[in-house]
Structure 1
Amino acid sequence: MSKPAKRKVILGMMAASLALTIGLNPQQADAAVDINASASILVDADSGKILFADNIDDQLPIASMTKMMSEYLILEAIDQGKISWDDEVSISDPVRTLSLQTELSNVPLRQDYSYTVKNLYQSMAIYSANASTIALAEHVAGSEADFVQMMNDKAGELGLESYNFVNSSGLNNSDLAGSHPEGTDANAENELSAKSVAQLAFHLINDYPEVLDTASIPELEFQAGEDETIQMQNWNWMIPGVNAGHEYEGADGLKTGFTSAAGNSFTGTALRDDMRLITVVMGAETRDDRFDETEKLLDYGFDNFHEAELLPEGYKPDGEDVIPVTGGKEKEVSISTSSALRSVIKNDEEELYVPEVSLASELLNEDGEFVAPLEEGQEVGQVQLTYEGEEDVEYLYDNQSSSTPLVADQAVEKASWFTMSMRGIGSFFSGIWTSVSDTVTGWF
């Protein structure tokens, strides 16, 4: 074989290999998304759309990322009026003992000094204080064991897919020196999948966005006693003012974690140009690595995706904007979207999203007609965007999608008995005339 011929064969094989790689896994084709961790995920915080995923279903230790569930339950209890920020929290003997183990991330807590829910919450959210977390769990539920039951119940309620909570702090139970929650194994550790961690962060940020007000504080003083203060620096090195080497524009949360079993893990979030992203990195090798890998994910998200308005408010579906109505004063009604449909999409892929109409089956008869009456502005269906590109589009939950409601543009009152009778008579004579006309036409 001649040299030019060999060159053509080699180039052809390289091109085929590249095309196969891109076709099999287009998201991974981006060199920037090479995450060195046990599991990782990138999610749009508004819609729950998954933008990148790697090994997201394996249940793994999560260490102090556990505290996101504790934060959720504490913020929920405050929102429901069960506790208040100004409540004074009792410090039990095991909590006092644990708080003195500063190698486990703690602020020292005294039993002859008063701490409020707010004081302890700040030490938990900023400094990952483990004893403070347990004290809050006892304050909310009466015991940490009951609080752990609440954690698992809430995980089920929120639809987390893979989880097992055994304590409120994220420590391994063995670190609690026999004071682990009753009913849990002495060596157990909290475990979730990366997808479930992202689901938890998604709910925490959207249900209680005030969580970021505290999570974004770079440094705060904790009054441990009358003449004892602790300077708490945030373990999240990506927020401004903590670590210049890892600071990331728009970063304002959320929670770090480390145990020997979990490795270095981090749930992050950042906001740029009204687009908020959530990241989860589990099992990175070092503290620096968990932030470096998170930066890769965030860069990939902000560089390759954007939020776009794909359908405007008042959009009328082509060919499906007028629907027949039975039993109404009017025989049809026009429909349109009640709000604009916005979605986070990959750059230059706007044309790959096609609107599809789905009408509310409970409002239709067997002939596909709306049954009167209808109110103006009443939701009568949904318009959903179908992606026609090569990649799979997935969300944190099966019921999430890029869709917006369709509403009736006018009210359609139910027709009176007289109107329906006249229509029936008209239809009867119309039928006779059509029959006679067809017969006469047949003669010729």
Structure 2
Amino acid sequence: MTFNLKSFLKTTLAASLTFPILTAGTSVFAEEQPSQIEAEAALLVDFETGQILYDQNADSQRGIASMTKMLVEYILFEEIEAGNLTWDTEVSISDYAHQVSQNYTLSNVPLRSDYTYTVQELYEALAIYSANGATIALAEEIEGSEQAFVDRMRQLVESWGIEEFELYNTTGLNNSSLFGNHYPGSDETAENIMSAKSMAIVAQKILEDYPEVLETSSIPTKVFREGTPDAISMLNWNWMLEGLSHERLDVDGLKTGTTEFAGATFTGTASSDGRRLISVVMGAGDGFADRGLRFDETSKLLDYGFNSFEQLTLIEADDSVDGIEPISVKNGVEDEVTIVSTESLSFYLPKGTDTADIQYTFEPNEEFFNDQGQLEAPIDAGTVVGQLVVEDNDMLQFIDGDTEQVVPVATSQSVERAGFFTILINWVSDFFGGLRNRF
């Protein structure tokens, strides 16, 4: 019979580790959740941890419309950060960008083909007014063509672990609105598609890496090219901003989108008492007959996230772990050593959750243990000898797809190696003990 060290260690060291954390059978999506969100898909996520607080068809693939432009913003910030562009860089307008910008059935600021605009001007038009011609102009400035920019968008989302998506243009418009400028291989009716969960990942990435996006996404109104004959008033399509029809003072972003195919969509974000949430609603009506529905449903999600959860610290950093006995040390001046957590572990749980049944376990690092499940001296303080694992369950879901959460555990003190005679005695004891077991 083959000896399995890992199985042995788990059995001997973790058999008693049945730590209560969450009530078995309880779900985040239970009676305290808001009533069904009036949208085809909806998602609520804690920004810092990526923990999912509400999920309604969040893996379904749907049209994302102008929420696509968050990807354009991310790449633009990358270019600024790399020094390839500045906010004052002058951008020429191609015939394609000009033609799209003159279509007033779409969201646009009118662009002249005989004029240049700063990156700052075009970015503000994109972020505040979702201007489609301005978006194309920025994409062409960065990559030379919209097609090349779409290739970069695709690479970007793949680098974030997003596997299912369809991206054909930078604006989120249906191809039928692009005057024949279609991504190779796409047809007249193609449109960008992702899931609510994927859009939350996009939002989380841009907020993590370029939080300055909120400085512009939170502007309710601004005049494009103020003081010139081309001046046009831009009203942010995010009507939850201060002074607009669905004002909510904790909301400061992020991006709306509307097409016939996608319906009304909105990736929102709000911050309250030092905590930030990300919400996504997709297909919340058509955006024309019921223009405020996506904001009403977003508000329900945010109320739920801010009011119905509390953060529970399950494991404190630098604490001895309840239930783990000191670990035996072989050939050391001490016979055993205690282990402590190296990090804290917290989750957001519905208020009043009874922490009763769901368990975490100790997974040892085989590298440090002998066949008897002992640590071999010398051992330094702070040596990570394993981890505590909170297994996947219905209450703890994350947008990155993690199925378990872990906390490394380490030795609390050093144990020096014993002297020669102590080691010799241990060897003799092990030798004769082995003989007894053999016969």
Task: Quickly name the TM-score band, shorter chain normalised.
Answer: 0.7 to 0.9
Q: Using a 3 Å threshold, how does the CA distance of structure 1 residues 31 and 196 change in structure 2: closer, same or farther? A: closer
Shift of 1:122: 1.7
Query: How many pairs are equivalent?
Result: 408
Shift of 1:172: 0.8
The residue aligned with 1:338 is 342
Q: Which amino acid aligns with 1:336?
A: V
How far does the alpha carbon of each residue in 1:334-360 deviate from its partner, in whole angstroms, 9 at most, with x for none? 332233322211111262465533333
Give the alignment's Cα RMSD to 1 decimal: 3.2
Q: Which range is displaced more, 281-290 or 107-116?
A: 107-116
Shift of 1:304: 1.4
Shift of 1:278: 1.4
SS in 1 for 2:410: strand
Matched residues in 1 for 2:143 and 2:378: separation? 49
Q: Which range is displaced more, 401-410 or 40-49?
A: 401-410
Q: Which range is displaced more, 335-344 or 120-129?
A: 335-344
Shift of 1:240: 1.9
Q: Is 1:283 matched with 2:283?
A: yes
Matched residues in 2 for 1:367 and 1:226: separation? 81
Kept in 1, the 8 Å contact 2:392–2:403? The answer is no
Q: Which amino acid aligns with 1:261?
A: F
Kept in 2, the 8 Å contact 1:354–1:387? The answer is no
Q: Which amino acid aligns with 1:265?
A: T
The residue aligned with 2:8 is none
SS in 1 for 2:117: coil
Structure showing greater relative contact order (alpha-carbon pairs closer than 8 Å, 6 or more residues apart): 2
Q: Which amino acid aligns with 2:327?
A: I
Kept in 1, the 8 Å contact 2:392–2:404? The answer is no
Matched residues in 2 for 1:175 and 1:297: separation? 33
The residue aligned with 1:266 is 266
The residue aligned with 1:247 is 247
Which has the larger Rg?
1
Shift of 1:123: 1.4
SS in 1 for 2:355: helix
Q: Which amino acid aligns with 1:383?
A: L
Map of 1:44-443 to 2, 5 A cutoff? 44-223=46-225, 226-243=228-245, 246-285=246-285, 286-320=290-324, 322-325=326-329, 332-349=336-353, 351-352=355-356, 354-370=359-375, 375-385=380-390, 391-399=394-402, 401-411=404-414, 415=417, 421-430=420-429
Identity across matched positions, percent: 42
SS in 1 for 2:352: coil
Kept in 1, the 8 Å contact 2:331–2:422? The answer is no
SS in 1 for 2:243: coil
Shift of 1:267: 0.9
The residue aligned with 1:20 is none
Q: Using a 3 Å threshold, how does the CA distance of structure 1 residues 427 and 140 change in structure 2: closer, same or farther? A: same
Provide TM-score, normalisation by structure 2.
0.82
Kept in 2, the 8 Å contact 1:382–1:404? The answer is yes
SS in 2 for 1:291: helix
5+ long unaligned stretches in structure 1: 1-22, 436-444
Matched residues in 1 for 2:380 and 2:185: separation? 55
Kept in 1, the 8 Å contact 2:26–2:395? The answer is no
Kept in 2, the 8 Å contact 1:310–1:350? The answer is no
Provide TM-score, normalisation by structure 1.
0.81
5+ long unaligned stretches in structure 2: 1-24, 435-439
Shift of 1:37: 1.1
How far does the alpha carbon of each residue in 1:153-212 deviate from its partner, in whole angstroms, 9 at most, with x for none? 111110124211111111111101112334433321000122222222222222322222
Matched residues in 2 for 1:308 and 1:110: separation? 56
Q: Which amino acid aligns with 1:316?
A: S
Q: Using a 3 Å threshold, how does the CA distance of structure 1 residues 260 and 428 change in structure 2: closer, same or farther? A: closer
Shift of 1:364: 4.1
Q: Which range is displaced more, 207-216 or 332-341?
A: 332-341
How far does the alpha carbon of each residue in 1:91-150 deviate from its partner, in whole angstroms, 9 at most, with x for none? 211111211223211112224433222222221111111111111111222211111111
Q: Which range is displaced more, 183-192 or 368-377?
A: 368-377
Shift of 1:387: 8.1
How far does the alpha carbon of each residue in 1:311-343 deviate from its partner, in whole angstroms, 9 at most, with x for none? 322221124263345577766443322333222
Q: Which amino acid aligns with 1:395?
A: F
Which is helix-richer, 1 or 2?
1
How far does the alpha carbon of each residue in 1:215-271 deviate from its partner, in whole angstroms, 9 at most, with x for none? 11222222278443222221111122322xx22241111110100000011111112
Matched residues in 1 for 2:430 and 2:180: separation? 87
The residue aligned with 1:12 is none
SS in 2 for 1:163: coil
Q: Which amino acid aligns with 2:361?
A: E
Q: Which amino acid aligns with 2:175?
A: N
SS in 2 for 1:212: helix
Q: Which amino acid aligns with 1:425?
A: L
Kept in 2, the 8 Å contact 1:199–1:396? The answer is yes
Matched residues in 2 for 1:434 and 1:374: separation? 25
